Amino acid sequence: MLPQKDKTEFSMCGIVGIIGNPNAAKEGYMGLLMLQHRGQDSAGILSFDQQSNRFYSEKNLGHISAAISESSLENLPGEMAIAHTRYSTIGKVKKEDIQPMTMNYPYGLAMVHNGNLINKEEIKQKLLHNNKRLTLTDNDLEIMMHLIADGLSQNPEALCFEDIKQSTREIFNIVKGGYSVLTILAGHGLVAFKDPNGLRPLVWGRKKVNHKYAYGFASESNALEFLGYEDIVELKPSELIFISNEGKIFQTILEEKTASPCMFEWIYFANADSTIWNKNVYQMRLKFGEILGERLKKESLNIDIVVPVPDTSRPSAITISEKLKRPYREVLIKNRYTQRTFILNKQADRDKMIKLKLNVVKEEVQGKNILLVDDSIVRGTTSKRIIQLLKDNGAAKVYIASTCPPIINPCFYGIDFPNKSELIAHLKNNEQIAQSIGAENVFYLTKTELEQAFDGLKTCLACVNGKYPTDITQANTMIETRIRHEETHLPGFC
């Protein structure tokens, strides 16, 4: 989807973990490249070498290929590695906040995560007053590192799986939010866990390397498939996995809960060739369009062409055009050599980039009635600009269809629209929305239709139905803190 930052400020990230492979850092790097869409303003890789008993890391600002040179991978030895690509939702990105992050005690910890903590400020105060731990960064991950370090330090002489279970269970008891986490315990192995509601994705698989199994973890299945891993499965809610240096697997589910994965992974965020909770992203987007298209048939719209907003809306636009029996046309042409606009932090910069990012095939637009298909309408500013762009190039009428229901509530789990006053559907009805963005009419996939598409899989729909899977009583504090950070240009969250 494009352009993005002014529409939805995502705080998603991509993570990769490898254990049991002599080329762990190289695999982490290649897996990270498959997750570049999940973050573009910094990247990092860290390895642990058993022989030297040391961490080795490389991380920097920018796209993965710019932040980590391929030649530097030769300086990251060891059979364990974790990797991370991120972007900050607000403020200035600082190098010291780039993941992976490390801590020397106990054992030596290195961690990456994808997610968002609602009650971070409350936990920070408790860590300071009760545990005498001062946080040095503004990254959610540091909070989790302190919590797991305190838990594991209770029995530092002889680490066992019960210690890891107890430390992780304590995180589940204290932390409110959505997160997937990978941790290297120096000299011991790799830990992976997912929050009790399974909000953020994490999969794992295995492959034979030198007559033994290596194991890989990643935010999306396509990264592990690219690396040749097999038997790829999604971690369940509150699932904890520890793989020792010897390749022994310890695995448990700490809380029995129904999964509530974020619907936005299928609607927008994940790669089309990824599979999340056994549902392929591309096929789900086809289904969204098929269901919405069936209803649009009843509207008897005078449509000449169906046009997707590139890129994630394409599958839905294809099935809508098939249902309406109207030509599918790609008339919005992306400039592949500009940054994704949702990565940019300043509105003025985003406005300039939008003009560079999209060109219109005006010969296909002039005099046409267009059905514009987008994956979601959040603030409405991007939709307004694209509709105006089409009309400036001669479109007669522009209707818009969204494969996401109206977003009327804040998200506190990583899709960063925490202020409901910014949400166009919270403030306006469909007629008012259409008028505000310059469309003849606006059509949404309904909540019932979206649930129908997921066919029994319960997803987090809090932003459209207000039913939050966790306690959100600290949400206002989180929002106020973010506003202060934005005003002082402090680093954002991941």
CATH number, residue 173: 3.60.20.10
Count of all residues that appear for the chain in the document: 494
Does residue 494 surpass a pLDDT of 70? Answer: no
Tokens matching residue 128: 């300071």
Residue 483 lies in a domain: no
Cis peptide preceding 100, ω within 30 of 0? yes
Higher pLDDT, 344 or 48: 48
Does residue 364 surpass a pLDDT of 50? Answer: yes
Residues 236 and 128 in one domain: yes
Q: Which residues are catalytic?
A: 13
Does residue 487 surpass a pLDDT of 60? Answer: no
Residue 13 lies in a domain: yes
Residues 21 and 131 in one domain: yes
**189 alpha carbon, distance to own chain's centre:** 26
**What pLDDT does 488 receive?**
47
Does residue 11 surpass a pLDDT of 70? Answer: no
Q: How confident is the model at residue 474 (pLDDT cuts 50, 70, 90)?
A: confident
Q: How confident is the model at residue 8 (pLDDT cuts 50, 70, 90)?
A: very low
**What pLDDT does 355 receive?**
63
Q: Residue 204: which of 178, 163, 162, 243 has the closest Cα?
A: 243
Query: What's the CA gap between 105 and 491, in Å, rounded?
Result: 25
Q: How confident is the model at residue 136 (pLDDT cuts 50, 70, 90)?
A: confident
Residues whose CB falls within 8 Å of the CB of residue 32, separated by 6 or more in sequence, listed in order: 14, 16, 43, 45, 64, 83, 84, 85, 223
Does residue 12 surpass a pLDDT of 80? Answer: no
Residues 290 and 255 in one domain: no
Residues 87 and 200 in one domain: yes
**What pLDDT does 459 receive?**
97
The arithmetic mean of pLDDT across residues 68-89, rounded, is 91
Residue 475 lies in a domain: no
Task: Give the percent of the chain with pLDDT over 70.
Answer: 88
Residues 289 and 233 in one domain: no
Give me the residues paired with residue 374 across strands: 402
Tokens matching residue 293: 């298209």
Query: What's the CA gap between 239 and 256, in Å, rounded?
Result: 9
Does residue 104 surpass a pLDDT of 90? Answer: yes
Does residue 10 surpass a pLDDT of 60? Answer: no
Residues 295 and 401 in one domain: yes
244, 260, 276: which is the final residue of a domain?
260
The domain spanning residue 378 has which CATH number?
A: 3.40.50.2020
**What pLDDT does 80 receive?**
98
- Of the listed ranges 123-137, 165-179, 241-255, 405-419, the one predicted with least confidence: 405-419
Residues 242 and 358 in one domain: no
Does residue 67 surpass a pLDDT of 60? Answer: yes
Residues 234 and 315 in one domain: no
Does residue 135 surpass a pLDDT of 90? Answer: no
Does residue 255 surpass a pLDDT of 80? Answer: yes
Higher pLDDT, 26 or 419: 26
Cis peptide preceding 311, ω within 30 of 0? yes
Does residue 279 surpass a pLDDT of 50? Answer: yes
Higher pLDDT, 255 or 87: 255
The arithmetic mean of pLDDT across residues 34-47, rounded, is 93
Task: Give the percent of the chain with pLDDT over 90.
Answer: 76
**73 alpha carbon, distance to own chain's centre:** 25
Residues 232 and 321 in one domain: no
The arithmetic mean of pLDDT across residues 231-251, rounded, is 98
Residues 233 and 291 in one domain: no
Residue 64 lies in a domain: yes
Domain count, the chain: 2
Q: Are 200 and 192 in contact (CB under 8 A)?
A: no
Residues 333 and 424 in one domain: yes
**What pLDDT does 94 receive?**
74
Residues 256 and 296 in one domain: no
Residue 229 lies in a domain: yes
Q: How confident is the model at residue 455 (pLDDT cuts 50, 70, 90)?
A: very high
Give the domain range for residue 216: 9-260
The arithmetic mean of pLDDT across residues 71-96, rounded, is 83
Q: Find the radius of gyration of the CA atoms of the chain.
A: 23
Query: What's the CA gap between 43 and 57, in Å, rounded?
Result: 11
Residue 376 lies in a domain: yes
Does residue 192 surpass a pLDDT of 60? Answer: yes
- Of the listed ranges 88-92, 238-242, 266-270, 441-445, the one predicted with least confidence: 88-92
Backbone angles phi, psi at 121, to 5 degrees: -65, -40
Residue 446 lies in a domain: yes
pLDDT, one tens digit per residue, over 390-438 is 999 999 999 999 999 999 998 888 876 667 888 999 989 999 999 999 9
The arithmetic mean of pLDDT across residues 298-324, rounded, is 96
Residue 473 lies in a domain: no
Does residue 481 surpass a pLDDT of 90? Answer: no
Does residue 264 surpass a pLDDT of 90? Answer: yes
Residues whose CB falls within 8 Å of the CB of residue 211, separated by 6 or more in sequence, listed in order: none
Write down the pTM of the prediction.
0.91
**What pLDDT does 6 receive?**
38
Q: How confident is the model at residue 154 (pLDDT cuts 50, 70, 90)?
A: confident
Higher pLDDT, 140 or 442: 442
pLDDT, one tens digit per residue, over 161-172 is 999 999 999 999
| Cα–Cα distance list, 96 to 42, 44, 56, 171, 187 (Å) | 11, 11, 16, 24, 25
